[in-house]
């Protein structure tokens, strides 16, 4: 093998975005080393510029070559991975915007936080495209270990330490289970580590064997932990409550999006022959997540715990699109994650701002906030209502697209359950809105009475304001202008060979009953 | 042509927020309300009375992958309701304004509601309808929760949950209708409902009936309604009872009767019975109430029952009566809530055993009491007022199809007279308690909305053609649609008998 073919086989151009993020990480580290503490004032902007560069590189790739397989099949930079990597990077950008003043106030070093966050982003981005077991595991662990570090980042805070330990223990256990599942796959496939070859090997096992199913269950354990889908959700509320809030924001969106990308790729390519089984398991996970997440959220008194349970429930909704397994099903997953990115990060940005100004995140402390801080009230209300699926915000369009795709794929039970549980969710989201908007001045909480004068001139507050306004605008308008993002999601599904292969002919026949072919005949007759 | 109905109130809602003087927000709100009212009157003048289909149609692609289009149109069913919507918004803005807290927010919510209801009435795409139907939820919730009475927290939550369930059933019904029938999009014109078997049709229609039945409300689903109407401020109650509840009956006609004509005919007897039960239940409960606002709220259940009976009968005349009753009831209920609101604000109570002698020309509320008597008469269906016109057409149209339910309804419209006589007798007549009757003088704002509504109620009562002419072509085509199977059957029998 000469150098030229090796270079073309490596096809290293596909990981330019990751390269840019790695370079940014190095610049942040070295900048901190040289300039010391003073660098905290400009390092976040370096990170943001680097991440924007990664987005630009992803954009170039989207319009670029069709040769997407890199590193001898270890990484697949197809359209699907580009879209998911874009979501991960976007979530990191917003996380950086909202974290600056929070990390400053906690008295810890900002540059270290940024470098761990960028490391987690790199892990997440690689996870979106990893198509070989070893790469998958390394990417997964990069993301996980960086996340453990971030959850325990405020070292002085006992709750942060507790959260980090819990997350580490449960995460390590689930990684171990996943690794065991991967080792089973390695054995079953006769020493193959590439996901597509494993898929072929598994499909050739004719007699009903228990081993592939065991491997599937173990792999799903690892995935569901990342998605925080019930019953693998136990870590979520505690970790969300204890960790620094910007970290939670990243975990709930960036890490989750990477988890979904990983789930789609792993299950579709490696377990293509076990589609029925994994659909069944995911349906169970979706049902449990929707019921448990929404029901338990009703009883929460802490804002961060409420958002934790809401994120469990939202994962349940997204799983409907995954189970549908049709083109619109996958597209609705991507669109919903895109919508979720803005509304959830907007919600967290508001929680961060409120806790910066008051030092609390109890729901009852938000009472009467509208009088003191209209922007915060408006953004948090709109983000929460959007999460609850109230039109005309983006969450409604995302949810209706998921349910639409689910219903089209004949998942009537799941869609009905989703509709019912989203009614429950409206109740607890609006409880917070009610606290902020409805309470009279004399019912105002002590915290809000002592609310500091709204001032954006403190260091680190401008980026937070930018983050909040960005989330507000996106949450209110992306729904109304939903056509381009939905087209993008659909195009990414159409251009990803692995998904095209999996959208089974049987499903398409079932769907084509609803397609315009038949009805146009009717129209002609009429 | 129709977009202004949506855009004017939305711009108004934003303009109010941006307008610097919070105390004067009602000026901005009134301007925009009158603009949209004027526009709806202009549409009325341009409306082609000889054509039963959709007019002023607008169509743009919106979110194409979802089958969601920006698709508007009106017919004789929705256009009069649009006028009512703008009228009642203007009335609501001027209801009980004195010392209104957070008036800016209040007025922009009213304009938002106005836009939402207008959108739902003109939407010709199922998903678009759902968006507007759900859009109402949060503004109304906030209006009840912020400006409501003592028990507003409970009432607003109950309203929220019931309405959210109603939205859920409607969405499920719409998704089912579109996908099970294999329709290419959510456009009402594109729906292929005839592809469905009778069982799915029945299930889908039931889901829609329950969904819209909660909103209307019909009797087993009504429990949210008295609490909500009573706790809501008069302005909110006017909008809730006057126009929001009409979205329920509008949905029944538009998506029940029009989309599923043959299934509708099948279950019509059940609907007639449900409607009759609503009528009796509402009247009986109204008689038993001490609280006059609650009495008016229960009277509303009864009057919505007539609409269901008429819609079930499904003759040309009865459907016309149903629409007329929606309009008449919207105006009369708004008038009643307005007057009861004035009484409550001035006297500080709604208890009919405490109130007495408000007719007293010197120290009482003579004008308000006089209008209250008139409104009670209108609601009871006394000839010469708009309530009579609507009820008469309802009864005349339904009698041939459902004689016994119609007869029961006629009898219980007598019960309406009973509770209004009780109400008027206790509050307006008798001796004013001199010890406590030191009432504030009424302001202009407490008078003219009631006078405007009364004038319309009187005018349409004397000149009923102005009420009925708009819907005639639409109801004709609806009734033909509904009776097509029967007509086909008759035609088939005829051909068999012909040699």
Give tens-digit pLDDT for A341-351: 999 999 999 99
Which of the 8 DSSP states describes residue A266? I
Q: Do A328 and B65 touch (CB under 8 A)?
A: yes
Chain A interface mutation, best of B99, B171, B233, highest count of A Cβ atoms under 10 Å: B171
Q: Does A407 touch chain B (CB under 8 A)?
A: yes
Residue A510, in any domain of the structure = no
A465 and A456 in contact (C-beta within 8 Å)?
A: yes
Which chain B residues contact residue A519 at CB under 8 A?
A: 182-184, 190, 192
Residue ranges of domains in chain B: 263-499
Tell me how crowded residue A48 is: count the other CB atoms within 10 A of its CB.
19
Task: Count CB pairs under 8 A between chains A and B.
Answer: 88
B399-421 burial, b if ≥16 CB within 10 A, otherwise e?
bebbeebbebbbebbebbbebbe
Residue A335, in any domain of the structure = yes
**Token duo for residue B186:** 């959510």
Chain A's closest residue to B142, CA to CA, is: A438
Residue A509, in any domain of the structure = no
**Token duo for residue B238:** 């006017």
Which chain A residues contact residue B132 at CB under 8 A?
A: 391
Quote the minimal CA–CA distance from A315 to chain B in Å: 20
Closest CA to A260 of A492, A93, A14: A492
Residue A216, in any domain of the structure = yes
Range of the domain at A161: 3-500
Which of the 8 DSSP states describes residue A359? S
Which chain B residues contact residue A487 at CB under 8 A?
A: 65
Q: Do A438 and B146 touch (CB under 8 A)?
A: yes
Residue A387, in any domain of the structure = yes
CA distance A218 to A179: 8
Q: Does A510 touch chain B (CB under 8 A)?
A: no
B249 and B216 in contact (C-beta within 8 Å)?
A: yes
Residue A373, in any domain of the structure = yes
Torsion sign across C-alpha atoms B367, B372, B375, B380: negative
- Return phi, psi of residue B2, to 5°: -95, -25
Residue A72, in any domain of the structure = yes
pLDDT in tens, A168-205: 999 999 999 999 999 999 999 888 899 989 999 988 88
Q: Does A148 touch chain B (CB under 8 A)?
A: no
Cis check: omega of the bond before B217, within 30 degrees of 0: yes
- Return phi, psi of residue B62, to 5°: -125, -90
CA distance B271 to B266: 10
Which chain A residues contact residue B172 at CB under 8 A?
A: 415-416, 419
What is the pLDDT at residue A504? 57
Chain A interface mutation, best of B164, B181, B193, highest count of A Cβ atoms under 10 Å: B164
Three state DSSP letters for chain B: CCHHHHHHHHHHHHHHHHCCCHHHHHHHHHHHHHHHHHHHHHHHHHCCCCCCCCEEEEEEEEEHHHCEEEEEEECCCCHHHHHHHHHHHHHHHCCCCCCCCCHHHHHHHHHHHHHHHHHHHHECEHHHHHHHHHHCHHHHHHHHHHHCCCCHHHHHHHHHHHHHHHHHHHHHHHHHHHHHHCCCCCEHHHCCHHHCCHHHHHHHHHHHHHHHHHHCCCHHHCCHHHHHHHHCCHHHHHHHHHHHHHHHHHHHHHHHHCCCHHHHHHHHHHHHHHHHHHHHHHHHHHHHCCEHHHHHHHHHHHHHHHHHHHHHHCCHHHHHHHHHHHHHHHHHHHHHHHHHHHHHHHHCCCECCCCCCCCCCCCCCHHHHHHHHHHHHHHHCCCCCHHHHHHHHHHHHHHCCCHHHHHHHHHHHHHHHHHHHHHHHHHCCCCCCCCCCCCCCCCHHHCHHHHHHHHHHHHHHHCCHHHHCCCHHHHHHHHHHHCHHHHHHHHHHHHHHCC
Structurally, how many domains does chain A consist of?
A: 1
Quote the minimal CA–CA distance from B460 to chain A in Å: 37
CA distance A227 to A319: 10
Nearest to A482 among B63, B135, B146 (CB): B63
Quote the minimal CA–CA distance from A225 to chain B in Å: 31
Residue A96, in any domain of the structure = yes
pLDDT tens for each residue of chain B, 499 residues long? 899 999 999 999 999 988 888 788 888 999 999 999 999 999 999 998 888 888 899 999 888 888 889 999 999 899 999 999 999 999 999 888 877 888 889 999 999 999 999 999 999 999 999 999 999 899 999 999 999 888 999 999 999 999 999 999 999 999 999 888 888 888 888 888 888 888 999 999 999 999 999 998 888 899 999 999 999 999 999 999 999 999 999 999 999 988 898 899 899 999 999 999 999 999 999 999 999 999 999 999 999 999 999 999 988 899 999 999 999 999 999 999 999 999 988 888 888 888 888 888 878 888 889 999 999 999 998 898 999 999 999 999 999 889 999 999 999 888 999 999 998 888 888 888 777 777 877 777 788 899 999 999 999 999 998 888 888 888 888 888 777 767 777 777 777 766 5
Chain B interface mutation, best of A519, A520, A523, highest count of B Cβ atoms under 10 Å: A519
Q: Do B134 and A403 touch (CB under 8 A)?
A: no
What is the pLDDT at residue A513? 38
Nearest to A385 among B138, B168, B184 (CB): B138
Helices (H), A228-271: 235-242, 245-250, 256-265
Q: Do B62 and A483 touch (CB under 8 A)?
A: yes
**Token duo for residue A155:** 């070292």
**Token duo for residue A178:** 């996943």
């Amino acid at each position: 093998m000469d150098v030229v073919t090796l270079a073309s086989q490596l096809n290293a151009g596909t990981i330019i975005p990751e390269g840019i993020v790695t370079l940014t990480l190095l610049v942040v580290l070295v900048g901190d080393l040289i300039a010391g503490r003073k660098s905290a004032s400009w390092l976040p902007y370096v990170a943001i510029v680097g991440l924007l560069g990664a987005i630009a590189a992803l954009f170039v790739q989207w319009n670029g070559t069709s040769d997407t397989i890199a590193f001898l099949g270890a990484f697949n930079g197809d359209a699907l991975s580009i879209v998911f990597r874009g979501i991960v990077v976007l979530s990191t950008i917003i996380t950086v915007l909202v974290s600056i003043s929070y990390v400053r106030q906690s008295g810890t070093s900002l540059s270290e936080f940024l470098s761990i966050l960028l490391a987690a982003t790199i892990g997440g981005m690689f996870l979106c495209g990893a198509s070989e077991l070893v790469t998958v595991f390394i990417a997964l662990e990069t993301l996980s270990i960086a996340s453990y570090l971030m959850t325990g980042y405020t070292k002085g805070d006992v709750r942060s330490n507790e959260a980090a330990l819990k997350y580490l223990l449960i995460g390590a256990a689930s990684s171990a289970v996943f690794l065991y599942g991967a080792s089973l796959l390695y054995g079953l496939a006769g020493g193959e580590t590439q996901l597509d070859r494993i898929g072929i090997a598994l499909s050739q096992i004719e007699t009903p064997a228990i081993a592939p199913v065991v491997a599937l269950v173990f792999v799903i354990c690892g995935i569901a932990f990342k998605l925080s889908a019930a019953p693998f959700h136990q870590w979520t509320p505690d970790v969300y409550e204890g960790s620094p809030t910007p970290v939670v924001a990243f975990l709930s969106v960036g890490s989750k999006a990477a988890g979904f990308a990983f789930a789609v790729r792993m299950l579709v390519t490696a377990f293509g022959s076990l589609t029925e089984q994994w659909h069944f398991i995911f349906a169970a996970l979706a049902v449990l997540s929707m019921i448990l997440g929404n029901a338990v959220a009703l009883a929460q008194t802490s804002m961060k715990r409420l958002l934790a349970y809401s994120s469990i429930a939202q994962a349940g909704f997204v799983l409907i699109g995954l189970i549908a397994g049709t083109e619109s099903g996958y597209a609705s997953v991507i669109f919903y994650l895109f919508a979720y990115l803005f509304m959830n990060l907007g919600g967290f940005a508001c929680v961060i701002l409120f806790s910066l100004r008051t030092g609390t995140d109890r729901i009852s402390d938000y009472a009467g906030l509208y009088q003191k801080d209209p922007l915060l009230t408006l953004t948090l209300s709109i983000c929460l209502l959007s999460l609850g699926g109230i039109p005309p915000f983006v969450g409604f369009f995302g949810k209706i697209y998921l349910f639409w795709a689910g219903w089209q794929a004949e998942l009537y039970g799941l869609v009905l359950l989703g509709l019912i549980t989203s009614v429950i969710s409206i109740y607890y989201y609006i409880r917070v809105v009610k606290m902020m908007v409805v309470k009279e001045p004399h019912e105002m909480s002590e915290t809000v009475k002592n609310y500091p004068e709204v001032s954006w001139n403190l260091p680190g507050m401008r980026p937070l304001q930018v983050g909040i306004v960005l989330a507000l605008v996106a949450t209110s308008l992306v729904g109304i202008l939903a056509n381009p993002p939905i087209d993008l999601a659909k195009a990414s599904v159409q251009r990803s060979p692995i998904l095209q292969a999996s959208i089974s002919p049987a499903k398409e026949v079932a769907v084509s009953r609803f397609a315009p072919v038949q009805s146009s005949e009717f129209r002609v007759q009429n | 042509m129709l977009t202004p109905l949506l855009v004017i109130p939305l711009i108004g809602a934003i303009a109010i927020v941006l307008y610097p003087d919070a105390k004067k927000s009602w000026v901005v709100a009134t301007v925009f309300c009158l603009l949209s009212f004027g526009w709806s009157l202009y549409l009325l003048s341009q409306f082609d009375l000889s054509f039963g289909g959709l007019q002023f149609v607008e169509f743009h692609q919106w979110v194409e992958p979802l089958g969601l289009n920006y698709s508007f149109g009106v017919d004789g069913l929705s256009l009069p309701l649009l006028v009512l919507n703008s009228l009642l918004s203007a009335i609501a803005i001027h209801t009980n304004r004195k010392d209104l807290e957070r008036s800016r927010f209040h007025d922009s919510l009213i304009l938002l509601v106005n836009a939402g209801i207008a959108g739902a009435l003109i939407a010709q795409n199922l998903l678009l309808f759902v968006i507007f139907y759900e859009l109402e939820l949060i503004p109304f919730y906030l209006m009840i929760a912020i400006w409501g009475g003592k028990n507003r927290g409970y009432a607003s939550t109950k309203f929220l949950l019931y309405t959210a369930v109603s939205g859920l059933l409607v969405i499920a019904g719409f998704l089912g209708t579109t996908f099970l029938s294999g329709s290419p999009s959510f456009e009402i014109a594109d729906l292929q409902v005839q592809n469905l078997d009778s069982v799915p049709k029945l299930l889908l229609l039931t889901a829609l009936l329950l969904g819209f039945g909660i909103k209307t409300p019909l009797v087993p689903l009504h429990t949210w309604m008295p609490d909500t109407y009573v706790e809501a401020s008069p302005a909110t109650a006017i909008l809730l009872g006057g126009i929001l509840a009409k979205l329920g009956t509008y949905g029944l006609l538009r998506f029940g009767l029009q989309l599923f004509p043959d299934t509708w005919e099948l279950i019509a007897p059940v609907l007639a019975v449900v409607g009759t039960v609503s009528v009796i239940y509402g009247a009986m409960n109204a008689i038993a109430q001490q609280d006059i606002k609650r009495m008016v709220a229960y009277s509303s259940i009864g009057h919505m029952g007539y609409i269901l009976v008429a819609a079930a009968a499904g003759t040309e005349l009865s459907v016309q009566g149903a629409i007329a009753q929606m309009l008449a009831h919207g105006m009369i209920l708004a008038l009643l809530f307005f007057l009861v609101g004035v009484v409550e604000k001035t006297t500080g109570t709604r208890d009919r055993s405490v109130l007495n002698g408000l007719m007293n020309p010197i120290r009482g509320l003579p004008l308000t009491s006089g209008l209250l008597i008139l409104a009670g008469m209108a609601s009871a269906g006394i000839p010469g007022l708009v309530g009579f016109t609507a009820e008469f057409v309802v009864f005349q149209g339904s009698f041939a199809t459902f004689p016994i339910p119609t007869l029961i309804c006629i009898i219980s419209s007598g019960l309406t007279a009973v509770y209004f006589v009780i109400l008027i007798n206790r509050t307006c007549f008798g001796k004013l308690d001199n010890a406590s009757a030191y009432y504030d003088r009424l302001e202009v704002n407490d008078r003219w909305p009631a006078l405007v509504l009364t004038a319309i109620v009187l005018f349409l009562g004397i000149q009923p053609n102005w009420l009925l002419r708009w819907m005639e072509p639409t109801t004709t085509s609806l009734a033909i649609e509904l009776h097509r199977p029967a007509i086909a059957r008759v035609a088939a029998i005829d051909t068999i008998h012909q040699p």
